[in-house]
Homo-oligomer: A and B are copies of this chain.
Amino acid sequence: MHTIGKLAREANVTTDTVRYYEKAGLLAPTAKTGAGYRLYDEEALRRLRFIKQAQHSGFSLSEINELLALKNSDEACCKDVRSVAITKKLQLEHKIKALQVMSQALTELIAICNDEARPLDACPILAALENSMAKQTKGKRNAQA
């Protein structure tokens, strides 16, 4: 069993963050000592790392909560888990595509612009930037948030 400090160190976060996650309902201590010290097992550490990982991939804490909640639910069945997974995957795909368009645009620009001495007004990157990006926005004109 780890104390909060050890857990935090192993997951490379602060103890404040761990307590914050607890408040947010993401990570409860496995046990408490008589003095009220939080204690965590390996499962908690894995959970904490999962949270950080998911967060790093663009999930918000409440989305992460959704995923983790399923795990703790006794009523949920495979079907529920599966449909959340599908929803999340679609969101991911969408985001990935947006990033890829952006990345591809940059790739092209970097390739074009090789003349180190060329002055700014002759830089093809800037001219191309908006055009390249604009492609993606096409057909979304009336999309509502």
Contacts and interface: CB of A to CB of B under 8 A. Distances in A.
A79 B123 CA distance: 9
Given A76-B120, A120-B77, A98 B12 contact: no
Instruction: Count copies of this chain in the complex.
Output: 2
A53 to B, nearest CB: 5
Interface of A: prevailing SS: helix
Interface stretch (A19-27, A33-41, A129-137): A129-137
Contact of A85 (B12, B57, B100, B110): B110
Interface residues of A, number: 63
B123 A81 contact: yes
A95, A102, A142: which has the most chain B beta carbons within 10 Å? A102
A119 interface: yes
B106 A100 contact: no
A98 B79 CA distance: 26
Contact of A96 (B100, B130, B133): B100
